[in-house]
């Protein structure tokens, strides 16, 4: 028996759930799990349906298409296919280390194809897990030339997603456009507050009582892409900026791993500049 997930994103209409589930029954597919959500402010319907059975993808999707209103999007993904990621890093190890360990022990069902660093600091850590590490220095080279080298390596692995695990460089529009909705970033702040560089120091100057981290898809608007996951940690007046940095690292790695898990399990719908998680 195969396991697949039907993802439906369309204008809301009467009887959609019944129509979709009846088609699943017609094709003798067992519904293992189903979640749906309607954004009443926009009239948009989202549904994630885990199915088991013997699939004829072409005829099944043809029937689904006939049941959905105009302007609909649907996809049928193999629930058992392990997705591939390439991770981009600079020098900080906590986010990369957490993903490597969770992939190693099975907490994250992912194929880490390679790690690319603009410093070679994390090469030894990566290679302990028998994962290729590519060092592509950004020093004394133009930004686009550096990115072209990185893109060439990424393309050689054909990943589903690119993870920025504390990759401390702003990506050019050309790079972002090449991988739409495929780049996942961890920002060391509770967005939309304190975007850009040194957010913990910005937070310290404002005397905040909480700090946090945000994982989001990368767009050309700096740190303003659709948010996948967030979490916070309470701080107080006794925390220095350096204390906030240390406190934030545990939040960062947890949020990034959680966000990656949601994406890998096809639970994230991107709609406009926000996400729906089912």
**Is residue 165 exposed (0-12), middle (13-18) or buried (19+ Cβ within 10 Å)?**
buried
Using CA atoms, how far apart are residues 70 and 181, in angstroms rounded to an integer? Answer: 23
Task: Kindly list the distances between the CA atom of residue 48 and the CA atoms of 9, 36, 42, in Å, as whole numbers in the listed order.
Answer: 9, 6, 19
Half-sphere exposure of 235 (CA within 13 A, CB side): 25
Q: What pLDDT does 250 receive?
A: 87
Residues serving a catalytic function are: 223
Per-residue pLDDT tens listing for the chain (278 residues): 999 999 999 999 999 999 999 999 999 999 999 999 999 999 999 999 999 999 999 999 999 999 999 999 999 999 999 999 999 999 999 999 999 999 999 999 999 999 999 999 999 999 999 999 999 999 999 999 999 999 999 999 999 999 999 999 999 999 999 999 999 999 876 545 666 667 656 665 666 667 788 999 999 987 789 999 999 888 777 877 777 777 788 899 999 999 999 999 999 999 989 999 99
User: Is there a contact between 269 and 7 (Cβ–Cβ < 8 Å)?
Assistant: yes
Q: Reduced to 3 states, what is the DSSP secondary structure of residue 111?
A: strand
Using CA atoms, how far apart are residues 163 and 218, in angstroms rounded to an integer? Answer: 10
The helix (H) or strand (E) run that includes residue 49 is: strand 44-53
pTM for the full predicted model: 0.91
Q: Reduced to 3 states, what is the DSSP secondary structure of residue 144?
A: helix
Using CA atoms, how far apart are residues 134 and 233, in angstroms rounded to an integer? Answer: 34
For residue 192, whether the previous peptide bond is cis, meaning omega lies within 30 degrees of 0, is yes
Q: What pLDDT does 212 receive?
A: 80
Ordered by where they begin, the domains of the chain are 2-78 (3.30.70.260), 83-277 (3.40.50.170)
How many other C-beta atoms lie within 10 A of the C-beta of residue 91?
12
Using CA atoms, how far apart are residues 222 and 17, in angstroms rounded to an integer? Answer: 37
């Amino acid at each position: 028996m195969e396991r697949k997930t039907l993802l439906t994103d369309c204008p809301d209409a009467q009887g959609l759930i019944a129509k979709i589930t009846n088609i699943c029954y017609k094709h003798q597919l067992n519904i293992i799990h189903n979640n749906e959500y309607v954004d009443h402010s926009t009239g948009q319907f989202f549904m994630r349906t885990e199915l088991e059975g013997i699939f004829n993808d072409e005829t099944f999707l043809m029937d689904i298409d006939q049941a959905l209103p105009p302007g609909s999007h649907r996809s049928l993904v193999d629930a058992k296919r392990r997705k591939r990621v390439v991770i981009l890093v600079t020098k900080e190890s906590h986010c990369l280390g957490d993903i490597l360990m969770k992939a190693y022990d099975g907490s994250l069902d992912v194929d880490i194809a390679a790690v690319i660093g603009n410093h070679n600091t994390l090469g030894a850590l990566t290679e302990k897990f028998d994962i290729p590490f590519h060092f592509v220095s950004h020093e004394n080279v133009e930004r686009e030339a550096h990115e072209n080298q990185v893109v060439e390596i990424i393309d050689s692995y054909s990943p589903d997603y690119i993870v920025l695990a504390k990759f401390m460089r702003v990506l050019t529009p050309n790079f972002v456009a090449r991988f739409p909705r495929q780049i996942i970033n961890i920002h060391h702040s509770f967005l939309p507050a304190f975007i850009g560089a040194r957010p913990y120091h910005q937070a310290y100057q404002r005397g905040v009582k909480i700090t946090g981290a945000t994982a989001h898809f990368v767009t050309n608007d700096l740190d303003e892409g659709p948010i996948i996951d967030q979490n916070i940690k309470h701080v107080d007046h006794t925390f220095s900026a350096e204390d906030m940095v240390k406190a934030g690292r545990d939040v960062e790695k947890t949020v990034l791993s959680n966000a990656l898990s949601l994406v890998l399990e096809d639970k994230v719908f991107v709609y406009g500049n926000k996400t729906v998680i089912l």
